[in-house]
Amino acid sequence: MLTSSLLESLTISTRLNETEQSFTAVSTDTRTIVEGALFVPLKGERFNGHDYVDAAIKSGAQAALWEEGQPVPAALPDDFQLYVVKDTLFALQEMASAYRVKINPKVIGITGSNGKTTTKDILASLLSLEGETYKTQGNYNNHIGLPLTILAMPSTCKYLILEMGMSGYGEIERLSEIAKPDLAIVTNIGESHMEQLGSRAGIAKAKMEIKEGLSPAGFLFIDSDEPLLDGWKQSSIMRVGFNHADILVENVAATVDGYQFDIEGHHFELSLLGKHNVKNAAYCIAVARKFGLVTSKIQTGLRQISLTSMRLEKLTGNKGELIVNDAYNASPTSMIAAIDALKAIPSYEKRVVVLGDMFELGTEEEALHKSVAQVITPPITHVLTLGDRAKWIYEEASHISSSSTFDEMAHFTTKQELADHLSKLVDQKTVILFKASRGMKLEEVITAYQDKQQD
């Protein structure tokens, strides 16, 4: 539980001279305030959280941080404490860092262009067998969400797993400095945020900032199969992957349920789609071993993974078809991986890819969309695309493939047209992948075509 003593180094002045208070939670949003919470009003270009302190009080806030110079409402209750600071965002981050030190869990930081959430979920499944584990909830992985995640961990937390997202230089470094991870993972280097960082090399540089806050005795696990990371050779960096690795993944074989593979003579089974998830699991196995988990316990954890939705999520449709919902987000790297995952699933006659637009790819977005077409090959049977950018995938696939390569190739301009088509196409011998950037909300097509079948 957060107490007012953690605020002492941040406080310029307070409205009351009271004994130490404790707070049930910390929130920057009046809609999530609970009774006894500390409210942290933030300022942006178009909003000022200080304007909502009355709403926070009505929702149960017990106290608030307050930026120096902001007018204090005259009608505040006499017993409502304000902690006056120079910058409420900085104060939030410093509180989180102090709370992290006070509770002192083992902290694992995870960044990368793709796979952060899946890796977090796998790791939580393993570590929770060893002690109380808390992980990033939803997409709380930025300069505001990460501090709130730290402040939300229970006082009995043994392992804290933190996603770290970014859009530009310096952001991962700041998150790492706040979290002070004992161990860290860079899952891979993709193309997300190419607009801001200019190149994959720039993305790699930004992701590797995670080492800046790493414990002096800590280790960073990185992708051995990524040439852009070849230059990072330090004793605290361990390479994980299928080639040239310190922790080598071998004998990878697809099964009906997922994959089996070996690491350093130990055999593991994973009930997740996609070979890339084998590598994500390997990162987690490496972390778990550093914390002393034995192979049998790791295998138990791998068998009970509960993934966040829309990450290669397996669903059964109305006609008995297998739906692979990977519509949470997309980059060329993750789309190619998802297509490869679909191709590896055995025992289906129809293999349908439904692909939508990918965003934030910068000036190379057309070429990057077209690059996806290179892996659209048999056993895929149907290629369906939606959106202005995804049309580039369709056009390139049409260009490089003969008319007999696929049973069908088609581009759609509306979700309803696509849904109507799918409702007639699928049967129990069909597996169908949905993949696009978050802004496309491609999962709506799943709902629409399922509803159409019930009309």
CATH of the domain at 398: 3.90.190.20
Domain that holds residue 172: 104-303
* 114 assigned to a ligand binding site: yes
Which one of 283, 303, 323 terminates a domain?
303
* 318 assigned to a ligand binding site: no
* pLDDT bracket for residue 19 (50, 70, 90): low
**How far is CA 164 from each of CA 168, 202, 274, 449, rounded to the nearest angstrom?**
12, 17, 23, 35
Q: Are residues 195 and 122 in the same domain?
A: yes
Q: Are residues 156 and 130 in the same domain?
A: yes
Per the model's pLDDT, the better-predicted residue between 453 and 154 turns out to be 154
Residue 98 lies in a domain: no
Residue 95 lies in a domain: no
Q: Are residues 128 and 248 in the same domain?
A: yes
* 3 assigned to a ligand binding site: no
Residue 400 lies in a domain: yes
What confidence tens digit (pLDDT) does each residue in 97-108 have? Answer: 999 999 999 999
Q: Are residues 73 and 120 in the same domain?
A: no
Q: Are residues 248 and 376 in the same domain?
A: no
Least confident of 16-20, 115-119, 196-200, 444-448: 16-20
Kindly state the average pLDDT of the residues 388-403: 94
Please give the Cα distance from 455 to 447 (Å, whole number): 13
pLDDT over threshold 60, residue 249: yes
Residue 158 lies in a domain: yes
Per the model's pLDDT, the better-predicted residue between 307 and 290 turns out to be 290
* CA atoms lying within 13 Å on the CB side of residue 364: 15
The Cα angle at residue 171 between residues 158 and 366, in degrees rounded to 5: 120
* 30 assigned to a ligand binding site: no
pLDDT over threshold 90, residue 449: yes
Q: How many other CB atoms are found less than 10 A from the CB of residue 5?
A: 12
What is the reported pLDDT for 335?
Answer: 97
Q: Are residues 116 and 259 in the same domain?
A: yes
State the total domains in the chain.
3
* pLDDT bracket for residue 5 (50, 70, 90): low
Q: Are residues 186 and 243 in the same domain?
A: yes
| CB < 8 Å & 24+ apart, contacts of 33-39 | 33/59, 33/60, 33/61, 34/59, 34/60, 35/60, 35/62, 36/60, 36/62, 37/61, 37/62, 38/2, 38/62, 38/63, 38/64, 38/65, 39/63, 39/64, 39/65
What is the reported pLDDT for 422?
Answer: 97
Which one of 243, 275, 303 terminates a domain?
303
* 117 assigned to a ligand binding site: yes
Paired residues of 7 in beta bridges: none
pLDDT over threshold 90, residue 340: yes
Q: Are residues 56 and 110 in the same domain?
A: no
Residue 93 lies in a domain: no
Residue 79 lies in a domain: yes
Query: Which CATH number characterizes residue 284's domain?
Result: 3.40.1190.10
What is the reported pLDDT for 12?
Answer: 40
* 115 assigned to a ligand binding site: yes
Determine the number of helices (DSSP H) and then strands (DSSP E) in the chain: 14, 22
Kindly state the average pLDDT of the residues 227-242: 92
Average pLDDT of the chain to the nearest whole number: 93
Angle between helices 171-179 and 145-152 (to 10 degrees): 10
* 116 assigned to a ligand binding site: yes
Beta pairing class for 219-223 and 237-241? parallel
What is the reported pLDDT for 6?
Answer: 61
pLDDT over threshold 60, residue 395: yes
Q: Are residues 116 and 50 in the same domain?
A: no
What confidence tens digit (pLDDT) does each residue in 421-439 have? Answer: 999 999 999 999 999 999 9
Q: Are residues 249 and 323 in the same domain?
A: no
Which one of 264, 283, 303 terminates a domain?
303
Residue 235 lies in a domain: yes
Q: Are residues 372 and 430 in the same domain?
A: yes
Residue 276 lies in a domain: yes
Query: Which CATH number characterizes residue 80's domain?
Result: 3.40.1390.10
Q: Are residues 161 and 193 in the same domain?
A: yes
